[in-house]
Structure 1
Amino acid sequence: MRLIAERLNQPTFDPNLWADSGYLPTPTIIEAAQALYASHNVEDIARSEADTQNLGQTSQQLLQLIHDARINKRKIICFVTGVPGAGKTLVGLNIASIHANREEKEYSVFLSGNGPLVTVLQEALARDRSSRTGDSISATRKETESFIQNIHRFRDEYLHGGVPPEKVAIFDEAQRAWDKEQASDFMRRKRGIVDFDKSEPEFLIEVMDRRQDWAFIIALVGGGQEINKGEAGLAGWLNALKAKFLEWDVYFSTALLSGEYISMGVDLNAVSRANILPNLHLATSMRSFRAEKLSSFVHYLVSGRCGLAVSLYKEIGHVYPIKVTRDLAKAKAWVKQHKRANESMGLLASSNGIRLKAEGIFVKNKIDPAKWFLSGAEDIRSAEFLEDVATEFDVQGLELDWCVVAWDADYRFNGQEFEHWEFRGTKWEMRHQAVRKRYLENAYRVLLTRARQGMVIFVPKGDKSDETRDPKFYDHTYKYLIDCGIGVI
Structure 2
Amino acid sequence: MAATRYYYSDAISTFLTKSVNEIVGKLTLMSQHDINDETSHSWVDEIIILHEVLAPYSERGSVYFEYNIPRMGRRVDVIVIIDGIVFVLEFKTAEQKFRRDAMIQAWDYALDLKNFQEGSFSRVLVPIVVVPKEKDSHCNLELRHFGDNVYNPLMVNVRLLSHAFLKVLDTIPRSLQQSVFTDNSWAKSGYEPTPTIIEAAIALYEENTVEEITRHGGDIDKTSIELTNIIEYCRQNNRKAICFITGVPGAGKTLIGLNTAIEQFNRGEKAVYLSGNFPLVEVLQEALARDYVRRDKIKAKQEKRKACTKGEAKSKVKAFIQMIHHYRNLYLEGTKVEDGIILPIPGYFQNHTDKAYIPTEHVAIFDEAQRAWTQDELQRFMREKKGIKDFPYSEPEYLISCMDRQLDWGVVVCLVGNGQSINKGEAGLTEWIESVHRNYRDWDVYMSEYLLTSGDVTMEQLEIIRPQIKSRDSLHLKMSMRSFRSEKVSIFVNQLLALQKEEATSTLRELVNYPIVITRSLYTAKQWLRAHTRGSERMGLLASSKAERLKAISINVRYQPDFVHWFLEDDSDIRSSNALEDTLTEFKVQGLEIDWACVAWDADLRLSKDHTSWQHYQLRSGTKWQNINKPINREYQINAYRVLLTRARQGMVIVVPKGDYSLPPDETRKPEWYDEIYDYLKEVGIKEI
Give me the TM-score of the superposition, normalised by structure 1: 0.92
Contact 1:354 1:362 in 2 (8 A): yes
2:541 equivalent in structure 1: 347
TM-aligned CA distance change 1:13 to 1:95, over 3 Å: farther
Q: Which has the larger radius of gyration?
A: 2
Within the candidate set 648, 672, 679, 1:451 is matched to 648
CA distance in structure 2 between the aligned counterparts of 1:269 and 1:36, rounded to whole angstroms: 38
CA distance in structure 1 between the aligned counterparts of 2:457 and 2:527, rounded to whole angstroms: 39
Using the aligned pairs only, state the percent identity: 49
Amino acid of the residue matched to residue 472 of structure 1?
E
Amino acid of the residue matched to residue 487 of structure 1?
K
Amino acid of the residue matched to residue 87 of structure 1?
G
CA distance in structure 2 between the aligned counterparts of 1:344 and 1:237, rounded to whole angstroms: 37
CA distance in structure 2 between the aligned counterparts of 1:262 and 1:127, rounded to whole angstroms: 39
Within the candidate set 248, 251, 263, 1:83 is matched to 248
- Report which stretch shifted further, 20-29 or 460-469: 20-29
Structure 1: runs of 5 or more not aligned = none
- Report which stretch shifted further, 262-271 or 186-195: 262-271
TM-aligned CA distance change 1:244 to 1:477, over 3 Å: farther
CA distance in structure 2 between the aligned counterparts of 1:409 and 1:154, rounded to whole angstroms: 39
Contact 1:36 1:97 in 2 (8 A): yes
1:97 Cα deviation after fit: 0.6
Number of aligned pairs?
482
1:255 Cα deviation after fit: 3.3
CA distance in structure 2 between the aligned counterparts of 1:402 and 1:352, rounded to whole angstroms: 22
Amino acid of the residue matched to residue 557 of structure 2?
V
Contact 2:429 2:457 in 1 (8 A): no
Give me the TM-score of the superposition, normalised by structure 2: 0.66
Q: Does 1:230 align with 2:425?
A: yes
Partner of 2:411: helix, strand, or coil?
strand
Amino acid of the residue matched to residue 328 of structure 2?
R
1:212 Cα deviation after fit: 2.6
Deviations 1:163-211 (A, max 9, x none): 1011000011112211122111111111111111322111111111121
1:32 equivalent in structure 2: 200
CA distance in structure 1 between the aligned counterparts of 2:470 and 2:601, rounded to whole angstroms: 42
1:146 equivalent in structure 2: 319
Q: Does 1:306 align with 2:501?
A: yes
- Report which stretch shifted further, 262-271 or 182-191: 262-271
Amino acid of the residue matched to residue 516 of structure 2?
I
CA distance in structure 2 between the aligned counterparts of 1:231 and 1:13, rounded to whole angstroms: 60
Deviations 1:333-390 (A, max 9, x none): 1111111111111111111111111111111112212111000112111111111101
Q: Does 1:477 align with 2:687?
A: no
Within the candidate set 515, 540, 545, 1:321 is matched to 515
Q: Does 1:182 align with 2:377?
A: yes
CA distance in structure 2 between the aligned counterparts of 1:483 and 1:14, rounded to whole angstroms: 52
1:231 Cα deviation after fit: 1.7
Within the candidate set 390, 395, 414, 1:219 is matched to 414
Amino acid of the residue matched to residue 44 of structure 1?
E
- Report which stretch shifted further, 339-348 or 233-242: 233-242
Contact 1:234 1:265 in 2 (8 A): no
Contact 2:594 2:649 in 1 (8 A): yes
1:158 equivalent in structure 2: 331
Deviations 1:274-321 (A, max 9, x none): 2332211222222211211211211111122222212211222x0111
Contact 1:99 1:108 in 2 (8 A): yes
Contact 1:233 1:264 in 2 (8 A): no
2:620 equivalent in structure 1: 424
2:639 equivalent in structure 1: 442
Q: Does 1:136 align with 2:331?
A: no
CA distance in structure 2 between the aligned counterparts of 1:349 and 1:436, rounded to whole angstroms: 17
Q: Does 1:41 align with 2:223?
A: no
CA distance in structure 1 between the aligned counterparts of 2:487 and 2:208, rounded to whole angstroms: 25
- Report which stretch shifted further, 364-373 or 16-25: 16-25
1:270 Cα deviation after fit: 3.1
Partner of 1:211: helix, strand, or coil?
coil
Contact 1:400 1:451 in 2 (8 A): yes
Structure 2: runs of 5 or more not aligned = 1-82, 86-121, 124-173, 298-307, 336-343, 345-356
Contact 2:234 2:409 in 1 (8 A): yes
TM-aligned CA distance change 1:307 to 1:246, over 3 Å: farther
